[in-house]
Amino acid sequence: MVDLLPETLQRWQAVEAMAREHFQRSGFGEIRTPLLETTDLFCRGIGEGTDVVGKEMYSFQDRGDRSCTLRPEGTASVVRSALQHGLLSQGAQKLWYAGPMFRYERPQAGRQRQFHQIGVEWLGAERALSDVEVIALAWDLLASLGVGGLQLELNSLGTAEDRQAYRDALVAWLEQRSESLDSDSQARLSTNPLRILDSKNKDTQALLEDAPTLADALCEASRERFAEVQRGLTALGIPFRLNPRLVRGLDYYSHTAFEITSDQLGAQATVCGGGRYDGLIGQLGGPQTPAIGWALGMERLLLVLEAVAQADPQGVAARLTAAPAPDVYVVNRGDEAEPAALALARDLRGAGLRVELDASGSAFGKQFKRADRSGAPWALVLGDEEAERGEVRLKPLQQQAEEFTVALAPVAAIVERLLNP
């Protein structure tokens, strides 16, 4: 778990602001759910046999002897909230969220035990067209952030019946080769065999090259649905690669599953993943309702954006990750000047400018050095003499221009000179 310091948060806020605008244009409304939920919500929603529930959740008994868990993901909480507040009775719900999640994992670059996600959930979305729109929403957001080297990986998990047929075929095939599996995969063979497809063990992955695929078990309706998703993505010009080994780590997924990766960190790193979960809402006590969604990891995304910004200092990612400089730096010193400088800074902020007020009381030379480092294009200079005359000096810091003096009031005149020198 790490602290988020001001410089980092400026980048986060820029990404969140762009995501918020992106979602609003597509008709998604924000939802905020508690960090703490009942453990049963995730056991029923994510699945008892998953690594998340079995190994990674932060759970404890509260003083009322209730088992509580810090949320490890956002979808189950959003569905719980929609059911609790009767949102589904109002029709399909297009929702988005952002916030911290918690999993007991081995910390590494871009992955912490407290991590942050931005995600969308479209509850009541039934048609393949919905899958295409939700995938396009993620793709377009990442592209607008300046993320390059994107690759969309796509698979269909079919219906529950398709998955059961595939599970039976996969287990039968793997049981004949169980001695060649890594220890984790051997344990999953009896609890959650589909997760073996997601093994990071190279020998297991090599073995799986010859294993039966989920595509072989799909019924005709599932095949046609998946083909419709592919046609929709092709029509939008979004390239994709079929990955028959792609499974999501949570049990509630069905039909379309996808991940978006980027090569900006040197290897293909997943920045966004999601899919359809038509059974989850019914599983949590609601009416059988189709749904689809995705989530992206903020920590991983910020690492990607920083890499992109270094490679292209003039690009979108560089502008997003750059800390905004103040519009003006107020240099001031003296008993008469300091109150006038304070009032001036306040008025300029009220007029919409970003203003840095030097409150050190140090010599003008030191203040000017700090003004130069701030990146502000202008310094407003107030000493006791200027304050007594009711004036302020405007000194350019980032351009070749002459210094000039204007009246302290009205502030609108100062703003006009700053914006239109």
Write out the DSSP string of 153-181.
EEEE---HHHHHHHHHHHHHHHHTTGGGS
Query: How is the chain split into domains, by residue range?
Result: 6-158+218-319, 328-419
Contact 23, 227 (CB under 8 A): no
Place of tokens 């270094």: 310
For residues 357 and 342, is the Cβ–Cβ distance under 8 A? yes
- Which residue type is seen at 227? A
| CB-CB contact of 402 with 414 (8 Å) | no
Structure tokens at 94: 């297009």
Nearest to 47 by CA among 148, 141, 160: 160
CB 41 within 8 A of CB 77: yes
Q: Residue 97: what residue type?
A: Y
Q: Over 80: is that where the pLDDT of 50 sits?
A: no
Which two three-digit tokens encode residue 259? 């991940």
Q: Find, among 112, 119, 84, the residue nearest to 281 by Cα.
A: 84
Task: Quickly list DSSP for 282-350.
Answer: HHTTS----EEEEEEEHHHHHHHHHHHHHH-TTSHHHHHHSPPPPSEEEEEESTTHHHHHHHHHHHHHH
pLDDT, tens digit (0-9, with 9 covering 90-100), for 5-20? 887 888 889 999 999 9
- The predicted pLDDT at position 51 comes to 77
Report residue 175's pLDDT band, with 50, 70 and 90 as the boundaries: confident
pLDDT tens sequence across 188-205: 887 778 878 877 788 888
Is the per-residue pLDDT at 95 higher than 70? yes
What is the phi-psi region of residue 91: left when phi exceeds 0, alpha when psi lies from -120 to 50, beta otherwise? left
The number of angstroms, rounded, from the C-alpha of 396 to the middle of its chain's C-alpha atoms is 39
Mean pLDDT across the stretch 291-320? 87
Element (H, E) at 234: helix 220-235
Portion of the chain with pLDDT greater than 90, in percent: 60
Q: What is the pLDDT of residues 318-356, one digit of tens each?
A: 777 777 889 999 999 999 999 999 999 999 999 999 999
As a whole number of angstroms, the distance between CA 273 and CA 118 comes to 11
Q: Give the C-alpha separation, 130 to 277, whole Å.
A: 12
CA distance linking residue 151 with residue 307, whole number of Å: 17
In angstroms, the CA 302 to CA 300 distance is: 5
Architecture of domain 6-158+218-319: 2-Layer Sandwich (3.30)
pLDDT of residue 421: 65
The DSSP H or E segment spanning 115 is strand 114-123
Q: What is the mean pLDDT of residues 272-287?
A: 93
Q: Categorize the per-residue pLDDT at 412 as very low, low, confident or very high, splitting at 50, 70 and 90.
A: confident
- Give the residue carrying structure tokens 């509850």: 123
Q: Which two tokens stand for residue 124?
A: 């009541």
**pLDDT tens digits, one per residue of 56-86:** 999 999 999 999 999 999 999 999 999 999 9
Mean pLDDT score of the chain = 90
Three-state SS for 186? helix
Q: CA–CA separation, 386 vs 407, rounded Å?
A: 9
Helix (H) or strand (E) holding 259: strand 254-262
Whether domain 328-419 has CATH 3.30.413.10: no
Cα atoms in the Cβ-side hemisphere of radius 13 Å centred on 253: 21
Q: What is the pTM of this model?
A: 0.85
Q: What average pLDDT does range 409-417 have in this prediction?
A: 79
Question: How confident is the model over 85-112, as a mean pLDDT?
Answer: 90
pLDDT band for position 249 (50/70/90)? low
Taking 3-state DSSP, the helix, strand and coil percentages for the chain, each rounded to the nearest 5, stand at 45, 20, 35
Residue 37 has phi, psi (to 5 degrees) of -130, 170
